[in-house]
Amino acid sequence: MVAVFVGFLAGKNSAASAKLSERPQKYEEVVATPETESLLEAGFVHLNGGDFRKAFLDFQKALQGQPSLPGIDYLVGYSALHSGEYSLAKEALDHAVSKNEMEAESRVLLALIALDESANEKNASTQMTDPLVTAESEFRRYASTHPKSAWIYSRWAEIHRQRGSYRTAADLLHKAVLRADPDENLSLLAAREVLNKLQNQPAKEAPSTATITSMKGDEALGAALAALQNKSSSDAVLFLERAKEFYSPRVFREIASDKAFDEYRADAKVMKILEGTSMKSAQP
């Protein structure tokens, strides 16, 4: 009987050990060293300032000093992408995917790179798969696993705006607004909604400057684009200056780089307020 009982315990212990071995192994927590933390902080300062090249150099140094730090490959890839270093970005993002670190975010950026590269290729029409279809597939996957993310819908909308699909963009921007952080992201998304609406249905006449002092940020921004559409750049500058009062420097940099203003950048008056504020759309 004792032998049977001991055998029973041994069997239970063996089964328990087998179950434990089947559980996912816990990864050892890796904390940034003081040197790495300093580089990370500098990198984020440069990101927020729109200097992606310096941010990339900071994150790359952090990677070299502490390659095991979770998420560092993504940061290198992200900053490299916005610096125009596509090859370096793809290498870093592929590495992030292989390590299962910020995989969903990395896949989205890789899809965006492929989409951008296809637009510059002469033989894009002969590709086996449509890069836009692939990108949208990644967007849907990301959205399904990040249901509160406003960024993914905002970026998705921008792609359709660039292609003139303003109605689709409007639907996506609405989804983004519903998910936006009320502090800063919401103001940027509201601004893009206004610009997108005017791109879809251009204003028939320039708005009056008589009520400019009572306008809120998105109202002044819409008035600025409407004035530009009706060849009234002097009034547009006044509206832009009014709009600028309502946005943080970071948000206004994003607004100033919006595609809606591209055809008016040759105007010296407009460029005077927009110059030096160019910044690509970024993920939080």
For 217-274, what is each residue's pLDDT tens digit?
999 999 999 999 999 999 999 999 999 999 888 888 889 888 899 999 888 888 888 8
| C-alpha span between 41 and 96 (Å, rounded) | 20
User: Which residues have C-beta within 8 Å of that of residue 155, sequence separation ≥ 6?
Assistant: 108, 112, 139, 281, 283
User: Which residues have C-beta within 8 Å of that of residue 275, sequence separation ≥ 6?
Assistant: none
Cβ neighbours of 268 (radius 10 Å): 9
Q: What's the average model confidence in pLDDT over 128-137?
A: 82
User: Which tokens in the block code for residue 255?
Assistant: 């607004």
Q: Are 274 and 256 in contact (CB under 8 A)?
A: yes
pLDDT reported for residue 28: 62
pLDDT reported for residue 15: 47
For the chain, the straight-line distance linking the first and the last C-alpha, in angstroms and rounded, comes to 65
pLDDT reported for residue 274: 82
Q: Are 247 and 227 in contact (CB under 8 A)?
A: no
Task: Assign 3-class secondary structure to the chain.
Answer: CHHHHHHHHHHHHHHHHHHHHHCCCCCCCCCCCHHHHHHHHHHHHHHHCCCHHHHHHHHHHHHHHCCCCCCHHHHHHHHHHHCCCHHHHHHHHHHHHHCCCCHHHHHHHHHHHHHHHHHCCCCHHHCCCCHHHHHHHHHHHHHHHCCCCCHHHHHHHHHHHHCCCHHHHHHHHHHHHHHCCCCCHHHHHHHHHHHHHHHHCCCCCCCCCCCHHHCCHHHHHHHHHHHHHCCCHHHHHHHHHHHHCCCCHHHHHHHHCCHHHHHHCCCHHHHHHHCCCCCCCCCC
User: Which residues have C-beta within 8 Å of that of residue 190, sequence separation ≥ 6?
Assistant: 177, 218
pLDDT reported for residue 7: 42
Q: What's the average model confidence in pLDDT over 155-183?
A: 89
pTM of the model: 0.66
Residue 9 has pLDDT above 50, yes or no: no
Q: What's the average model confidence in pLDDT over 114-133?
A: 71
Q: Are 258 and 192 in contact (CB under 8 A)?
A: yes
In the numeric block, the tokens 């600025």 are attached to: 224
pLDDT band at 166 (very low <50, low <70, confident <90, very high): very high
Structural domains of the chain sorted by starting position, each given as residue range(s) with its CATH number in brackets: 38-119+129-143 (1.25.40.10), 196-274 (no CATH)
Give me the amino acid identity at 47.
L
Residue 134 has pLDDT above 90, yes or no: no
| C-alpha span between 32 and 40 (Å, rounded) | 9
